[in-house]
């Protein structure tokens, strides 16, 4: 059989060969060609599949990667996590209605300029959906090891532009090991290959994440991320931006809620919003609670509230209600207008000071009759605002009215240049000259870490929130030395009223036994005033130098901290004689994390492209809030890097031109509809009068140019401390 078959085959072959060699060759050629085509196609297909799978099957063999929903910011004190929850169609309407009830919203009908990265797009596969559901269930479950107080639920925000909700949570960075353990024991890391991460911890904890969890932290610059997050909320969120004023009538009108706006005094986080509890209630401790974390080392356990070297144990109760210890207090020194006499309102933090002698309010901006709290005879034009006599003048808080009214500001129409003062562990000060264009101009090591660190040492408080609640009850004048303490009256020649703080904590240097008079709450308050005052001064002076009228104060130091916000609002207004405004943002501490998420998962076109054109000239000296190739890992299978598009290539260049033109047009338009802001004199006209002498005088030279930006006549005689030199000087 075989032989005949072979023969037959041979016969056929021979026959073919015999009948035509060309035909055999053609067949062979066709077969080979077909084989090659199939091989190439198979290779392409497998390449494609490998590319797709690289999202799904990470380097550690993980089958899904939901890392695109996260943005992590690991700071010196706090770690902040933003996670995104894509809203399914069925829930969209419900979420939007919830949003409405919250009195804040993103802007309706906004056309998104954001493009999703492939890794975020990929999340709708069934496997990813399953992994995501497991994660959301874990994080939101009652009794989850990630306890409710770590989540800032009231900051949750539905974004139409992104098509889902953003959630915010934080924990103290010192518990990072424990958090990694929680992630591991709950197998959350199984579905995360990599995530966008910023802050110093992106470097410091990179190995820990890689080795213990197999998660790659994609490092992103912290100030780039901060700016990206901040610009996003300013641009997209109505109700984000606010300030404090002494008078309800000083809020700006915003669109009605029906138009996607708010009642103009309605804070979606503040106590004005009906039915909303504050996310910063005292029960909301920021730290992972000791119940889920290992026992604190003995030295971290709660100590009795006793100040080192101070005899507090017998005389000072743990928490003292206002007025209950009057008899222990030293008699008020000097000016007796309220010093040492806390009223109930002050105790509740409603007042920042108690001297009624000066009028640094906006009364002058309005007819007297329009301000219900204006006393007769002190209305518009009747009494000129007293210019600052020293940068410390506002320290004592010469408030006639209480700067307690939280009022909304429009975040969208920002006025360039503006400053961003990020008060985290330390302080970074940025000057922003246009969308995505900023530089770090200064900083200070006296920041939130200083306050919280000293409070941990000097009080028995176990959490930041607790210490701020304590400070609310304190009276700084019990520890601070005032001008009145030194002069027995005011220093009139330089308009320093007797209640101005001459020396923070100075009173403790002169009393016989500080332990007898000092209470924890007074110290917590005085320390808060000292740190806040110092940051306010540095910010103000930088604003003068850089001719900025608006200062955005952000960072978690301002969390649960109305005292500092009100103080800053008042002080900036006072020092600038009403020409500058301090502004605050609801998501104050989360911009880094938000920016890390946006940078890894969204490509911004408008700003990024515009920067290519508009910002080209500034590129050398200003940083751009865009990730670069060092801090962003390009996603496999895409030609773009994660984060803002670099806009390269012909198509990108066209887009860039368009966007640049749009931005230029936008910038040339009237920037604010409110006449008080629109017509506010720019700082060119802010001249500090020489007669006031002191530190401020040398800031402006004859021609009106600021001098601190160069190297001349800084009060201590040294050269200007740029942000870089400041750091060097600190080291020395």
Ligand X SMILES: CC(C)(COP(=O)(O)O)[C@@H](O)C(=O)NCCC(=O)O
Which residues within the stretch 49-108 sit at the binding site for ligand X (CB under 6 A)?
A: 75-76
Q: Is 691 exposed, middle or buried (0-12, 13-18, 19+ CB in 10 A)?
A: exposed
Cβ closest to ligand ADP, residue 361 vs residue 463: 463
555 scored as a contact of ligand ADP (CB under 6 A): yes
Separation between Cα atoms, residue 533 and residue 567, nearest integer Å: 8
Separation between Cα atoms, residue 95 and residue 164, nearest integer Å: 9
Q: Which stretch binds ligand ADP (CB under 6 A): 178-186, 250-258, 401-409, 553-561?
A: 553-561
Separation between Cα atoms, residue 279 and residue 502, nearest integer Å: 36
**Applying CB under 6 A, what is the total number of residues that bind ligand ADP?**
21
| Of 711, 440, 401, 699, the residue nearest 576 (C-alpha) | 699
Q: Which stretch binds ligand X (CB under 6 A): 117-125, 239-247, 358-366, 422-430?
A: 422-430
Q: Which of 64, 68, 72, 78 binds ligand ADP (CB under 6 A)?
A: 78
Cβ closest to ligand X, residue 426 vs residue 436: 426
Can you spell out the DSSP letters for 372-404?
A: TTPPTT-STTTSPPPPPSSTTGGGG---SS---
71 scored as a contact of ligand ADP (CB under 6 A): no
Cβ closest to ligand X, residue 337 vs residue 440: 440
449 scored as a contact of ligand ADP (CB under 6 A): yes
From the CB of 532, what's the least distance to ligand ADP, in Å?
A: 11
Separation between Cα atoms, residue 541 and residue 563, nearest integer Å: 21
Q: Which of 58, 67, 239, 424 binds ligand X (CB under 6 A)?
A: 424
405 scored as a contact of ligand ADP (CB under 6 A): no
Q: Which stretch binds ligand ADP (CB under 6 A): 445-453, 520-528, 536-544, 668-676?
A: 445-453
User: Both tokens of residue 9?
Assistant: 């085959």
257 scored as a contact of ligand ADP (CB under 6 A): no
Separation between Cα atoms, residue 189 and residue 213, nearest integer Å: 6
Separation between Cα atoms, residue 711 and residue 729, nearest integer Å: 15
Query: Pick from ligand X, ligand ADP, none: which does 698 bind, CB < 5 to 8 A by kind?
Result: none
Q: Tell me the HSE value of 277 on the side-chain side, using a 13 A CA sphere.
A: 8
Q: Write the interaction track for ligand ADP spanning residues 558-577; mark x where CB under 6 A is met and - where it is not.
A: -x------------------
360 scored as a contact of ligand ADP (CB under 6 A): no
Task: Name the DSSP class of 143.
Answer: T
Query: Pick from ligand X, ligand ADP, none: which does 443 bind, CB < 5 to 8 A by kind?
Result: ligand X
Can you spell out the DSSP letters for 646-675?
A: ---HHHHHHHHHHHHHHHHHHHHS---SSH
Q: Which stretch binds ligand ADP (CB under 6 A): 73-81, 296-304, 309-317, 518-526?
A: 73-81
730 scored as a contact of ligand X (CB under 6 A): yes
Cβ closest to ligand X, residue 110 vs residue 445: 445
Q: Which of 194, 389, 391, 425 binds ligand ADP (CB under 6 A)?
A: 425
| Of 408, 447, 154, the residue nearest 281 (C-alpha) | 154
Could you tell me if 652 and 646 are in contact, meaning their C-beta atoms sit under 8 angstroms apart?
yes
Which residues within the stretch 579-598 sit at the binding site for ligand ADP (CB under 6 A)?
A: 589
Q: Write the interaction track for ligand X spanning residues 433-452; mark x where CB under 6 A is met and - where it is not.
A: ----------xxx-------
| Of 701, 395, 694, 417, the residue nearest 574 (C-alpha) | 395
Q: Is the peptide bond before 417 cis (omega within 30 degrees of 0)?
A: yes
Q: Which of 448, 460, 595, 643 binds ligand ADP (CB under 6 A)?
A: 448
727 scored as a contact of ligand X (CB under 6 A): yes
557 scored as a contact of ligand ADP (CB under 6 A): yes
Query: Pick from ligand ADP, ligand X, none: which does 589 bind, CB < 5 to 8 A by kind?
Result: ligand ADP
104 scored as a contact of ligand ADP (CB under 6 A): no
Separation between Cα atoms, residue 80 and residue 199, nearest integer Å: 10
Separation between Cα atoms, residue 34 and residue 409, nearest integer Å: 69
User: Please, where are the H alpha helices in 84-205?
Assistant: 89-101, 118-121, 126-140, 176-185, 201-204
Q: Write the interaction track for ligand ADP spanning residues 272-301; mark x where CB under 6 A is met and - where it is not.
A: --------------xx--------------
Q: Which stretch binds ligand ADP (CB under 6 A): 75-83, 133-141, 206-214, 233-241?
A: 75-83
426 scored as a contact of ligand X (CB under 6 A): yes
**Applying CB under 6 A, what is the total number of residues that bind ligand X?**
17
Q: Write the interaction track for ligand X spanning residues 155-194; mark x where CB under 6 A is met and - where it is not.
A: ----------------------------------------
| Of 432, 518, 428, 413, the residue nearest 475 (C-alpha) | 518
User: Both tokens of residue 155?
Assistant: 């900051």
∠ CA 197-721-396, rounded to 5°: 90
Query: Pick from ligand X, ligand ADP, none: which does 637 bind, CB < 5 to 8 A by kind?
Result: none
Which residues within the stretch 198-227 sit at the binding site for ligand ADP (CB under 6 A)?
A: 199
Separation between Cα atoms, residue 337 and residue 419, nearest integer Å: 36
Query: Pick from ligand ADP, ligand X, none: which does 653 bind, CB < 5 to 8 A by kind?
Result: none
Q: Which of 75, 145, 388, 515 binds ligand ADP (CB under 6 A)?
A: 75
Query: Pick from ligand ADP, ligand X, none: which does 556 bind, CB < 5 to 8 A by kind?
Result: ligand ADP
Separation between Cα atoms, residue 143 and residue 105, nearest integer Å: 30
Strand order in the sheet with 194-198: 157-159, 164-172, 78-86, 70-74, 194-198, 216-220
Cβ closest to ligand ADP, residue 83 vs residue 575: 83
Separation between Cα atoms, residue 719 and residue 704, nearest integer Å: 19
From the CB of 155, what's the least distance to ligand ADP, in Å?
A: 13
What separation, in Å, do the N-terminal and C-terminal C-alpha atoms of the chain show?
A: 98
Cβ closest to ligand ADP, residue 261 vs residue 589: 589
Could you tell me if 168 and 80 are in contact, meaning their C-beta atoms sit under 8 angstroms apart?
yes
Length of the chain, please?
Answer: 732
Q: Tell me the HSE value of 716 on the side-chain side, using a 13 A CA sphere.
A: 4
Query: Pick from ligand ADP, ligand X, none: which does 730 bind, CB < 5 to 8 A by kind?
Result: ligand X
Q: Which of 425, 482, 542, 611 binds ligand X (CB under 6 A)?
A: 425
From the CB of 649, what's the least distance to ligand X, in Å?
A: 34
Q: Which residues of 169-200 are buried (b: 16+ CB within 10 A; e: fewer)?
A: bbbbbbbbebbbbbbeebebbbbbbbbbbbbe
In the complex, which residues of this chain contact ligand X (CB under 6 A)?
75-76, 199-200, 422, 424-428, 443-445, 723, 726-727, 730
In the complex, which residues of this chain contact ligand ADP (CB under 6 A)?
75-78, 172, 199, 286-287, 424-425, 448-449, 451-452, 463-464, 555-557, 559, 589
């Amino acid at each position: 059989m075989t032989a005949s078959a072979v023969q037959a085959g041979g016969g056929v072959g021979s026959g073919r060969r015999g009948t035509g060699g060309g035909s055999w060759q053609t067949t062979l050629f066709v077969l080979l060609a077909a084989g090659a085509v199939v091989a190439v196609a198979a290779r392409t297909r497998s390449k494609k599949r490998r590319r797709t799978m690289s999202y799904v099957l990470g380097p550690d063999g993980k089958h899904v990667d939901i890392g695109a929903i996260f943005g992590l910011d690991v700071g010196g004190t706090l770690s902040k996590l933003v996670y995104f929850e894509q809203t399914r169609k069925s829930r969209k309407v419900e979420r939007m209605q919830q949003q409405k009830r919250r009195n804040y919203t993103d802007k309706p009908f906004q056309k998104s300029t954001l493009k999703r990265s492939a890794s975020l797009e990929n999340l709708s596969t069934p496997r990813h959906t399953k992994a995501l559901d497991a994660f959301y269930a874990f994080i939101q479950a009652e009794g989850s090891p990630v306890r409710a107080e770590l989540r800032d639920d009231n900051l949750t925000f539905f974004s139409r532009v992104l098509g889902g909700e953003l959630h915010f949570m934080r924990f103290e960075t010192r518990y990072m090991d424990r958090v990694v353990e929680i992630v591991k024991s709950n197998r959350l890391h199984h579905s995360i290959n990599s995530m966008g991460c910023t802050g110093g911890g992106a470097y410091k904890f990179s190995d820990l994440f890689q080795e213990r969890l197999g998660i790659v932290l994609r490092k992103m610059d912290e100030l780039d991320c901060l700016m990206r997050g901040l610009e996003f909320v300013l641009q997209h969120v109505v109700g984000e931006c606010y300030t404090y004023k002494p008078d309800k009538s000083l809020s700006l009108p915003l669109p009605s809620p029906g138009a996607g706006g708010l009642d103009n005094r309605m804070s979606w986080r503040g106590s004005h919003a009906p039915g909303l509890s504050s996310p910063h209630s005292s029960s909301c401790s920021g730290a992972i609670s000791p119940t889920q974390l290992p026992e604190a080392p003995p030295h971290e356990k709660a100590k009795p509230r006793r100040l080192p070297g101070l005899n507090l144990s017998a005389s000072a109760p743990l928490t003292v209600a206002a007025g209950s210890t009057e008899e222990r207090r030293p008699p008020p020194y000097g000016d007796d207008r309220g010093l040492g006499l806390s009223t109930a309102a002050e105790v509740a933090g409603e007042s920042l000071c108690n001297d009624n002698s000066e009028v640094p309010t906006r009364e002058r901006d309005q007819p007297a009759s329009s301000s219900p709290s204006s006393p007769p005879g002190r209305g518009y034009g009747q009494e000129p605002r007293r210019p600052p006599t020293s940068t410390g003048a506002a320290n004592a808080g010469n408030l006639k009215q209480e700067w307690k009214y939280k009022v909304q500001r429009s975040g969208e129409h920002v006025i360039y240049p503006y400053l961003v003062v990020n008060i985290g562990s330390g302080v970074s000060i940025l000057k922003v000259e246009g969308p995505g264009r900023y530089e770090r101009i200064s900083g200070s090591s006296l920041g939130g870490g200083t306050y919280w660190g000293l409070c941990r040492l000097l009080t028995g408080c176990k959490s930041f929130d607790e210490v701020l609640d304590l400070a609310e009850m304190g009276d700084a004048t019990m520890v601070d030395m005032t001008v009145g303490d030194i002069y027995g009256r005011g220093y009139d020649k330089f308009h320093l009223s007797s209640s101005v703080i001459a020396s923070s904590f100075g009173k403790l240097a002169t009393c016989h036994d500080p332990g007898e008079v000092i209470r924890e709450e007074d110290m917590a308050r005085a320390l808060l005033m000292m740190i806040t005052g110092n940051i306010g001064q540095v910010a103000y002076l930088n604003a003068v130098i850089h001719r900025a009228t608006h200062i955005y104060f952000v960072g978690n130091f301002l969390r649960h901290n109305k005292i500092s916000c009100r103080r800053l609002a008042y002080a900036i207004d006072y020092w600038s004689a009403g020409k500058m405004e301090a502004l605050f943002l609801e998501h104050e501490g989360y911009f880094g994390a938000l920016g890390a998420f946006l940078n890894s998962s969204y490509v911004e076109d408008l700003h990024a492209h515009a920067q290519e054109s508009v910002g080209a000239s500034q590129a050398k000296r200003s940083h751009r809030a865009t990730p670069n190739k060092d801090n962003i890992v390009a996603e496999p299978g895409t030609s773009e890097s994660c984060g803002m598009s670099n806009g390269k290539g012909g198509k990108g260049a066209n887009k860039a031109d368009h966007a640049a033109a749009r931005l230029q047009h936008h910038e040339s338009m009237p920037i604010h509809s409110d006449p008080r802001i629109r017509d506010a004199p720019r700082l060119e006209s802010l001249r500090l009068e020489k007669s006031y002498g002191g530190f401020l005088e040398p800031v402006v030279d004859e021609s009106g140019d600021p001098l601190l930006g160069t190297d001349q006549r800084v009060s201590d005689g040294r050269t200007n401390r740029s942000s870089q030199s400041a750091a060097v000087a600190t080291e020395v």
